[in-house]
Amino acid sequence: MRFSLRPQDDTFYKFFTDAAQNIVKGTAILAELAEPEADVQSVSERLVEVEHANDEITHELYNKINSTFVTPLDREDMYALGSQLDDVMDHIEAAGNLVYLYGLSELPAPPREMVELLNVLVAQAAITVQAMPKLKGMDASLRDYWIECNRLENDGDRAYRMLLVRLFSGEYEALTVLKLKEVADELEKACDAFEHVANTVETISVKES
């Protein structure tokens, strides 16, 4: 356990953990899309709720940062972490909403590479929620987290590239390709956004160690 001259107000760390727990819920809901006969409308509506909950957490975090004189971590790092966790949730919600709006539930199943991308997001959420409580005390195992999160992002990148290869292969008609690509883009951005969270955790760790 690291010694710090700054007051260790636990509520700050709690915001990050709460946001990450919300994101775990979000990725679990989104992953239902990989199941046959998924209720796409319900997925989209529940994601909107989870996303609103995240907006509130982020808002409260910002208020807390603004009204606190000495913060346990650098102000700009906490802003960055809060807004990056928010970005993850925004892209997850957007992906679910587009599947619903575009009527993509008429497809028999999402392309295999899209399911791979969904699995990457579930895995990233699982390690992120485990990492957040370790920010307090700067547990040395955080290093494993950001390395693994970057590795998962590489997996996601590869799945995304191969997904586009399939979409452009002639298997789907042009408008369906465009719809699926919009969804894929949101999934890939969520995957990237998880990496940004991990990079900020790395920055904080390097500063504080």
**Residue numbers at the binding site for a second copy (CB under 8 A):** 66, 97-98, 101-102, 161-162, 164-165, 167-170, 174-175, 177-179, 181-182, 206
Q: Which is nearer to a second copy, 64 or 126 (CB)?
A: 64
How many angstroms separate the CA atoms of 115 and 162, rounded? 12
User: Shortest gap between Cβ of 170 and a second copy (angstroms)?
Assistant: 6
Task: Indicate the residue among 5 and 174 with the shorter CB distance to a second copy.
Answer: 174
User: For residues 189, 190, 192 and 193, what is the CA-based torsion angle, rounded to 10 degrees?
Assistant: 120
In this structure, are residues 134 and 143 in contact, taking their beta carbons and an 8 Å threshold? Answer: no
The residue among 134 and 158 lying less far from a second copy, judged by its C-beta, is: 158
Instruction: Pick between residue 10 and residue 175 the one whose CB is nearest to a second copy.
Output: 175
Q: Give which of 143, 8, 14, 153 is closest to 82, Cα–Cα.
A: 14
Nearer to a second copy, 2 or 161 (CB): 161
Write down the least CB distance from residue 162 to a second copy, Å: 8
Compute the distance between CA of residue 112 and CA of residue 122 in angstroms, rounded to an integer: 16
Q: Please state, in angstroms and rounded to a whole number, the distance separating the CA atoms of residues 79 and 58.
A: 9
**Burial zone of 60 (CB within 10 Å; 0-12 exposed, 13-18 middle, 19+ buried):** middle
Which residues are within 8 A (CB) of 72 and not within 5 positions of it... i.e. 6 or more apart?
4, 6, 7, 8, 9, 12, 13, 136
State which residue, 5 or 175, has the beta carbon closest to a second copy. Answer: 175
- Give the nearest distance from C-beta 17 to a second copy in angstroms: 25
- Quick one: tokens of 172? 């789907």
Cα gap 60→72, rounded to integer Å: 16
Closest CB 148 distance from a second copy, rounded Å? 17
Q: State in angstroms the smallest separation of the CB of 126 from a second copy.
A: 26
Could you give the angle at which helices 10-31 and 112-131 cross, rounded to 10 degrees? 160
Least Å distance between CB 44 and a second copy? 12
